[in-house]
Copies of this chain bind each other. A is one copy, B any other.
Amino acid sequence: MSLRRVRIYEVAQAAGVSVATASKALRDTGRMQDQTRARVKDVAAQLGFRPNAFARGLISKRSFAIGLLTNDTYGRFSLPLMSGVSDALVDHGVSVFLCTIEDDEGLSQRHVDALLDKHVDGIIASGKRVDRRLPVDLSKLPVPVVYAFTQGPDDSVTFVSDDRQGSLDAVNWLRSIGRQRIVHITGPASFQSVTWRADAYREAIGNDGIVLHGTWTEAWGHQAVDRLFCPNQIFPDAIFCGNDQIARGAIDALRERGIAVPEQVSVVGFDNWEIVAAATRPPLTTVDMNLRALGREAGLTVLEMAEGREVAPGIRRLPCELVVRNSCGGARD
């Protein structure tokens, strides 16, 4: 550890120019002989010169760092998002502070303060529920804020997945492979995403669609199937589930009852949580919210704002994508 860092002064010396010229050469600003510029760049590379970010920041007020706030401790949603943000920004030299704040107001405030103290170029606020706000007010910060997968104030820039489109895709896919009696097993009605998905389901099916609300668990999927498949009833031939865990519970319950998936009943999930979708037997066809893409957009947007470009406030819905595995039968197109 600890070879002393080389300063621009040393580069200038070695290249036989002044510090100012060296700076201009390296930053591709000012005018000078191409030859001079090349020589300076050469020497800088040779010496392994890396400009001091503190000195630069002091002048430019930019840190090339942004903060990602999330209250999703599991990382089910925040990690893909993070990964998208990071991917999009690493090539701009921007790194991402991840702050997991678990609904604790004091902790959130400390994290935000730490970020502001470090002069982050922007903040992305994200959560595990699109309809909950983070426990901290980001509305009058001295840096741009973008909301991703969480609800921001009305005049904010917000990115969410298009749950309506995703749900329509799922239901339409079930119909395209010949399913007629499609039910919807989903989470608590209090979740915004539940409403969006259920509304889209009804939009596709008609108002006599059956929607069963419960928790986001396998146990509920299991239980809902028990309820739907009592004797002396007309059985559904397809189930559109509000998330993958419910879908997995449902499929397990169907198998235990000797009902074949996908031959007798098709099942579609939501989330494409690899770890459950792939372990399900058969592997689950499910809606992917493209969280990485969401993260990428959010990252690029906050960067634009940091660079001073105006970005119109509003909610941007990014498309979901149906990932076809084996729980439905049929074959994609």
Contacts and interface: CB of A to CB of B under 8 A. Distances in A.
Contact of A74 (B79, B114, B117): B79
A82 B100 contact: yes
Contacts of A52: 58, 119
A257 interface: no
A52 B144 CA distance: 18
Contacts of A141: 1
- Copy tally for this chain in the complex stands at 2
Interface in A261-318: 274-276, 279
Interface residues of A, number: 57
Contacts of A279: 217-219, 245
B95 A96 contact: no
Contact of A93 (B75, B83, B91, B117): B117
Interface in A81-127: 82-83, 86, 90-91, 93-100, 107, 110-111, 113-119
A180 to B, nearest CB: 31
Contact of A117 (B53, B91, B100, B252): B53
A10 to B, nearest CB: 16
A67 interface: yes
Most chain B CB inside 10 Å of its own CB: which residue of A67, A98, A111, A217: A98
B111 A90 contact: yes
Contact of A54 (B54, B94, B252): B54
Contacts of A54: 53-55, 57-58, 63, 119
A5 interface: yes
B91 A110 contact: yes
Interface of A: 1-3, 5, 50-55, 57-58, 63-65, 67, 73-75, 79, 82-83, 86, 90-91, 93-100, 107, 110-111, 113-119, 140-144, 217-219, 245, 252, 274-276, 279
Given A86-B98, A95-B118, 16 more contacts: A1-B142, A1-B143, A53-B118, A54-B55, A54-B57, A55-B58, A57-B57, A65-B65, A73-B83, A75-B79, A79-B100, A90-B99, A95-B114, A96-B98, A217-B279, A275-B276
19 contacts: A1-B140, A51-B117, A52-B58, A52-B119, A53-B119, A58-B58, A64-B117, A74-B75, A75-B79, A79-B79, A86-B98, A91-B110, A93-B114, A95-B111, A97-B98, A98-B98, A218-B279, A245-B279, A275-B276
